[in-house]
Chains A and B, each alone.
Chain A
């Protein structure tokens, strides 16, 4: 009878509980606004960074010169569409960057000029511009003031509005010492006064780095992107060779080919689609993280996330709700469940801890007892203390009898309303001692039940009462960690993706095992110290696995640095943020699972568009080869399966298709291909079908349709 009141998930949890990876929005308007930037990128120095598109650029220049020498509808048409091809590729990159830039502008607004109140060594205050702060400076910030730079609180406690960074309007508490001492420049102190030690150099603050990241200014090619670029360059070289050899072969066969036609064929064959979209895919991957309020320090980290095969998740807050909750009442010695429920509720009325509240919630849900705040006036509360390890209530005989008290006493076996009643709940040994001190006995079954509850990984509390001098045990309250809803399914998905989940907890192994089993996790690390975590990560990495983890405390820093993907909570310390390679602004550790999916989606998008791009070539050959050579060998016109109108219309249609497909695929590149967690085989089968087979068929249809229009053009 596990009964808990379902907690309403927060917005962030709702977002992360969504199964698939959500799509980013894309509007055609972004194309227009990115046009000026795309035009600027026609600069050959920019093109050189992308070998495939550089070849197209050189081809465009060549064909333009030829068209200038011998103008014609065909020559000008091909030249124009080759330039469009380059431009569309630039557009893809610009649109992707533009989305990041919008994000950066929002951040930049937070970096307004502040005046800092710096403490001089003598203890006086001086006013200096925020930009002049140096490492180690101490500044004073009071309610209503903006914190001038990143740092750690060395003195005081304050509520801070971090909405400028996180978008979360609820203020957070920051205090000196411990894991909640770091503050971010640009956030506002709402109450109290703190002294902050500055930990970042001017221009290198957290916000500055975030801006640089989302703008893509520091974007470097990731290892996988480099490997793919090498493969694409190889394909480009192969097609260049094919074209170089083709001219003498054509000459031998009877007719040298027009250079414009050769360039058109080359551009159609080299993998322009993926070449044009490759950097946009990478930027968009980072952007998808940003949309989830996660900032990655490098594209490499996003890519590594896709490869992660071991996920270390903190128990508290990630797998279970933050604290233990009462889940079951077990009466002993003939006490009814109702009696125990009433007593448990009474004993918890003054207990402000989450555990105490959960007992009340349980009894309310189960026994429909009123929360009855008036009772506070009718009784004397005994708060929990570390010495007594108990809390409870004393209902005195001298107090005026009220209806309410009758209610209270209804649960008691003694209907003598004049009797003094005391109820206690707490640790088993403490309550047993209390019962014995009042002359009562402790039934043997209590020990059996508490032992059993402990073995199952839960915490037993014991409830007892003294009524009219007679003490007796009432029963046991089971406090358990409650696994967040939906986690079992998510861990199942991760297992299907081949990812091992390890729960990290400070609990004893018994408790840890029980919860890990309940949540469906593969493994657990109990009584975890930072050293244990580090050792676990090293061990997994030795076995060739990539490890992802979350953390916030300074003592997590070494493990965060060692992990392949270390996601730091925004609430975490500066040291932890420095060590990890991602920061979650919502401080929601469950999001690590999303990050893994985004990493995978990024790689899949790359692979799918490469496959699509290469598969396209087949149709382009069938369009262009008959167009080139049917004049020499009329029988080759039989390869013209699309029945394209004329050689010129066929070649131009192929070039136009090649350019338009880039524009058509920009939304897909930005959004990423649809990804649902499943096994490698089913993913591959699906993507091969869509992007492989689809990539073969699409251009046949596309070129055929474009030709229907192009043939209408006079002079083609």
Chain B
């Protein structure tokens, strides 16, 4: 079987399984977020943190919950790393350097999981388990909670209440992420992923030198790493490491895991707004972009120019031989399309076009299908903008799902959309203006610019994947990237919650023949075009000087 045929079969298998779980998981999540009763375990948690689970919150209270929890988590995670040497299970790894600790704390709390350190030599098991893995669950559940709050904004009317953040958060962890990640971890262990609390095994090489092969509780972290679109590997090589991702089957399963929640959340959305076709529209937009980007990168990687790569038949540099081109590009597009950031190949080594496409995939605002929760609300915000323009063109004050889009709604959507381009452009611009940046880059010219742009795009979109080829341990990079992650996460979260708040206060407008229908092919095209247009217009000059210049050379 040729590489291409095998790849197509993998894609077909992936899509089949996703379609199979779409309805059950989507409906299950909708039921969980609308259920009236609480599990006993949840009641214990609510009592411990002194929350009354049946009291709904205003959007401001909800937002304070999100921000407060995140702030506390950052401080806790920072201290945990800084105090590592005094804590158990540190594997004798000392206190984490302050710049790394701060960057990492922000990174994991914002669901970015950008790693400016080598995990197996810096983080002990306690930080991994009590710090990073906990945040893998919590940050994912926060994203989902915000998305659910926005859905409630559309569903509810004449109320200023959006639900209870602590309940949404707890349910996301207890009822969705935990059970799925346990299942996922078991499958991964069966597939050959390691699971060990030992620091590593000492081996003596053929030349007599001795070294240690690091071990870690990989499978459990691996499952939530993908499932929560986190992406922070327990090993530096991430999903290219044979202990994290040993073979094609685990590879495909990991891709499945990172797509499953963002994809099925569109069904949850459709269920909760009472019209599953509204969800189909969103998944269609996500699917269109994902497919287009996958095809582009696949084509780029199998049609490279350059003598060495032509001799190899494909751009195999930086890719695992056990995966080949198809499994690598499938992973690359899925990880940049969600906010995962796990990698099984070095994106830096992709062709100019291929690397540029995975960069662009993030610059779309990560909506194909996006991170857990963030993908859904990101696309809904773009849909709000699309509906606003299209709604005018049918001669009515625009309305989406029965809610009018007026000044407040457009302002909130605009701020949400503005945040990411602002941090990416200003961050990359500032970095490139610094003479010291040239020393941090492995490459000069167009590819170097892509490396810097990729770093800020990854941080600003809370992706966390690295183009690599750039040393980001300087104080400047550590702090500006941390800021990019924080702004890229919390500005949209605030704007989206504000949008939800103002939507919930409205009374619904009945649907008539004069209402812009937000289902159907025309609307799918419209939203897709809006996603592409916003990114293209914002980043055309930057992309021209980076990937385009490289690809056209």
Q: A residues bordering B, Cβ < 8 Å?
A: 223-224, 226-228, 230-231, 233-234, 237-239, 241-242, 244-253, 265, 269, 303, 306-307, 309, 495-500, 542-545, 599-601, 603-604, 606-608, 610-611, 614, 617-618, 621, 625, 628-629, 632-633, 635-636, 638-639, 675, 679-681, 683-685, 687-688, 691-692
The answer to whether B507 touches A249, judged by C-beta atoms less than 8 angstroms apart, is: no
Q: Closest residue of chain B to A254, judged by CB?
A: B445
10 new A-B pairs (CB below 8 Å) besides A252-B433, A635-B553? A227-B409, A238-B537, A244-B425, A253-B449, A253-B545, A500-B512, A629-B545, A633-B552, A635-B552, A636-B552
* Minimum C-beta distance from B235 to chain A (A): 33
- 11 A-B interface contacts by CB (under 8 A): A237-B418, A249-B449, A252-B432, A306-B397, A307-B396, A610-B392, A621-B537, A629-B545, A636-B549, A680-B515, A684-B526
- Which of A242, A303, A542, A680 is in CB contact (< 8 Å) with B513? A680
Q: Closest residue of chain B to A247, judged by CB?
A: B429
Q: In the assembly, what is the distance between CA of A617 and CA of B541, in Å? A: 12
Residues of chain B with a CB closer than 8 A to A639's CB: 544, 548, 552
Q: Closest residue of chain B to A602, judged by CB?
A: B395
Q: With A231-B385, A269-B537, A607-B393 as given contacts, are A241 and B422 in contact (CB-CB < 8 Å)?
A: yes
Q: In the assembly, what is the distance between CA of A245 and CA of B432, in Å? A: 9
- Which of B388, B414, B433, B514 is in CB contact (< 8 Å) with A680? B514
Within 8 A of A (CB), among B423-446: 425-426, 428-430, 432-433, 437-438, 445-446
The 5 tightest CB contacts between A and B, nearest first, are A607-B392, A498-B514, A498-B512, A600-B395, A245-B429
Q: How many residues of B contact A (CB 8 A)?
A: 65
Residues of chain B with a CB closer than 8 A to A604's CB: 392-395
The answer to whether A618 touches B536, judged by C-beta atoms less than 8 angstroms apart, is: yes
The answer to whether B542 touches A246, judged by C-beta atoms less than 8 angstroms apart, is: yes
The answer to whether A234 touches B414, judged by C-beta atoms less than 8 angstroms apart, is: yes
The answer to whether A614 touches B513, judged by C-beta atoms less than 8 angstroms apart, is: no
Q: In the assembly, what is the distance between CA of A636 and CA of B520, in Å? A: 38
Most-contacted residue by chain A among B385, B407, B411 (CB, 10 A): B407
Q: Closest residue of chain A to B553, judged by CB?
A: A635
Task: Decide yes or no whether B83 CB sits under 8 A from chain A.
Answer: no
* Minimum C-beta distance from A563 to chain B (A): 16
Residues of chain B with a CB closer than 8 A to A223's CB: 397, 406-407
The answer to whether A685 touches B411, judged by C-beta atoms less than 8 angstroms apart, is: no
Q: In the assembly, what is the distance between CA of A218 and CA of B552, in Å? A: 55
Q: Closest residue of chain B to A544, judged by CB?
A: B509
Q: In the assembly, what is the distance between CA of A684 and CA of B410, in Å? A: 20
Q: In the assembly, what is the distance between CA of A443 and CA of B433, in Å? A: 105
Task: Decide yes or no whether B249 CB sits under 8 A from chain A.
Answer: no
Residues of chain A with a CB closer than 8 A to B533's CB: 614
* Minimum C-beta distance from A139 to chain B (A): 45
Q: With A244-B425, A252-B432 as given contacts, are A227 and B410 in contact (CB-CB < 8 Å)?
A: yes
Most-contacted residue by chain B among A303, A611, A692 (CB, 10 A): A692
The answer to whether B516 touches A684, judged by C-beta atoms less than 8 angstroms apart, is: yes
Q: In the assembly, what is the distance between CA of A698 and CA of B544, in Å? A: 23
Q: In the assembly, what is the distance between CA of A675 and CA of B392, in Å? A: 13
Q: In the assembly, what is the distance between CA of A607 and CA of B544, in Å? A: 30
* Minimum C-beta distance from B508 to chain A (A): 5
B388-416 to A contact mask, C-beta < 8 Å, 1/0: 11111111110000100111011100110
* Minimum C-beta distance from A229 to chain B (A): 9
The answer to whether A309 touches B410, judged by C-beta atoms less than 8 angstroms apart, is: no
The answer to whether B418 touches A238, judged by C-beta atoms less than 8 angstroms apart, is: yes
Task: Decide yes or no whether B270 CB sits under 8 A from chain A.
Answer: no
Residues of chain B with a CB closer than 8 A to A687's CB: 393-394
The answer to whether A245 touches B425, judged by C-beta atoms less than 8 angstroms apart, is: yes
Residues of chain B with a CB closer than 8 A to A688's CB: 390, 393, 522, 526
The answer to whether B418 touches A234, judged by C-beta atoms less than 8 angstroms apart, is: yes
Q: In the assembly, what is the distance between CA of A616 and CA of B174, in Å? A: 49
The answer to whether B509 touches A238, judged by C-beta atoms less than 8 angstroms apart, is: no
Q: In the assembly, what is the distance between CA of A151 and CA of B63, in Å? A: 56
Within 8 A of A (CB), among B502-553: 507-510, 512-517, 520, 522, 526, 529, 533, 536-542, 544-545, 548-549, 552-553
Q: In the assembly, what is the distance between CA of A250 and CA of B549, in Å? A: 12
The answer to whether B402 touches A544, judged by C-beta atoms less than 8 angstroms apart, is: yes
Residues of chain A with a CB closer than 8 A to B409's CB: 227
Task: Decide yes or no whether B421 CB sits under 8 A from chain A.
Answer: yes
The answer to whether A251 touches B433, judged by C-beta atoms less than 8 angstroms apart, is: yes
Q: In the assembly, what is the distance between CA of A685 and CA of B520, in Å? A: 12
Task: Decide yes or no whether B216 CB sits under 8 A from chain A.
Answer: no
* Minimum C-beta distance from A294 to chain B (A): 18
Q: In the assembly, what is the distance between CA of A520 and CA of B65, in Å? A: 55
Residues of chain A with a CB closer than 8 A to B430's CB: 248
The answer to whether A608 touches B542, judged by C-beta atoms less than 8 angstroms apart, is: no
Residues of chain B with a CB closer than 8 A to A617's CB: 537
Task: Decide yes or no whether B417 CB sits under 8 A from chain A.
Answer: yes
The answer to whether A601 touches B542, judged by C-beta atoms less than 8 angstroms apart, is: no
* Minimum C-beta distance from B552 to chain A (A): 4
Residues of chain B with a CB closer than 8 A to A681's CB: 517, 520, 522
- Which of A227, A239, A684 is in CB contact (< 8 Å) with B393? A684
Residues of chain B with a CB closer than 8 A to A675's CB: 395
- Which of B393, B422, B446, B526 is in CB contact (< 8 Å) with A683? B393
Residues of chain B with a CB closer than 8 A to A239's CB: 537-538
Most-contacted residue by chain A among B395, B541, B544 (CB, 10 A): B395
Residues of chain A with a CB closer than 8 A to B529's CB: 692
Q: In the assembly, what is the distance between CA of A604 and CA of B398, in Å? A: 11
The answer to whether B432 touches A248, judged by C-beta atoms less than 8 angstroms apart, is: yes
- Which of A224, A601, A684 is in CB contact (< 8 Å) with B390? A684
Q: In the assembly, what is the distance between CA of A312 and CA of B13, in Å? A: 57
Q: With A238-B421, A248-B433 as given contacts, are A607 and B389 in contact (CB-CB < 8 Å)?
A: yes
Residues of chain B with a CB closer than 8 A to A246's CB: 429, 541-542
Q: With A242-B542, A244-B429, A614-B537 as given contacts, are A635 and B549 in contact (CB-CB < 8 Å)?
A: yes
Q: In the assembly, what is the distance between CA of A309 and CA of B513, in Å? A: 10
Q: Closest residue of chain A to B434, judged by CB?
A: A248
Within 8 A of A (CB), among B372-393: 385, 388-393
- Which of B388, B390, B537, B548 is in CB contact (< 8 Å) with A636? B548
The answer to whether A245 touches B428, judged by C-beta atoms less than 8 angstroms apart, is: yes
The answer to whether A227 touches B553, judged by C-beta atoms less than 8 angstroms apart, is: no
Residues of chain A with a CB closer than 8 A to B411's CB: 227, 230
Q: In the assembly, what is the distance between CA of A237 and CA of B542, in Å? A: 16
- Which of B428, B437, B509, B549 is in CB contact (< 8 Å) with A545? B509
- Which of A601, A611, A625 is in CB contact (< 8 Å) with B544? A625
B470-508 to A contact mask, C-beta < 8 Å, 1/0: 000000000000000000000000000000000000011
Q: In the assembly, what is the distance between CA of A544 and CA of B517, in Å? A: 17
Q: In the assembly, what is the distance between CA of A329 and CA of B418, in Å? A: 73
Q: In the assembly, what is the distance between CA of A608 and CA of B544, in Å? A: 29
Q: In the assembly, what is the distance between CA of A237 and CA of B537, in Å? A: 12
Residues of chain B with a CB closer than 8 A to A238's CB: 418, 421, 537-538
* Minimum C-beta distance from A463 to chain B (A): 47
Residues of chain A with a CB closer than 8 A to B514's CB: 309, 497-499, 679-680
Q: With A231-B410, A544-B508 as given contacts, are A629 and B418 in contact (CB-CB < 8 Å)?
A: no
Q: In the assembly, what is the distance between CA of A600 and CA of B398, in Å? A: 11
Q: Closest residue of chain B to A243, judged by CB?
A: B541
Q: In the assembly, what is the distance between CA of A231 and CA of B530, in Å? A: 14
- Which of B395, B437, B446 is in CB contact (< 8 Å) with A306? B395
Residues of chain A with a CB closer than 8 A to B539's CB: 242
Q: Closest residue of chain B to A673, judged by CB?
A: B393
* Minimum C-beta distance from A256 to chain B (A): 11
The answer to whether B394 touches A544, judged by C-beta atoms less than 8 angstroms apart, is: no
Q: In the assembly, what is the distance between CA of A307 and CA of B421, in Å? A: 34
Q: Closest residue of chain B to A244, judged by CB?
A: B429
The answer to whether B388 touches A227, judged by C-beta atoms less than 8 angstroms apart, is: yes
Q: With A231-B410, A252-B449 as given contacts, are A611 and B396 in contact (CB-CB < 8 Å)?
A: no
Q: In the assembly, what is the distance between CA of A495 and CA of B514, in Å? A: 8
The answer to whether A249 touches B545, judged by C-beta atoms less than 8 angstroms apart, is: yes
Q: In the assembly, what is the distance between CA of A234 and CA of B526, in Å? A: 20
Residues of chain A with a CB closer than 8 A to B392's CB: 224, 228, 603-604, 606-608, 610
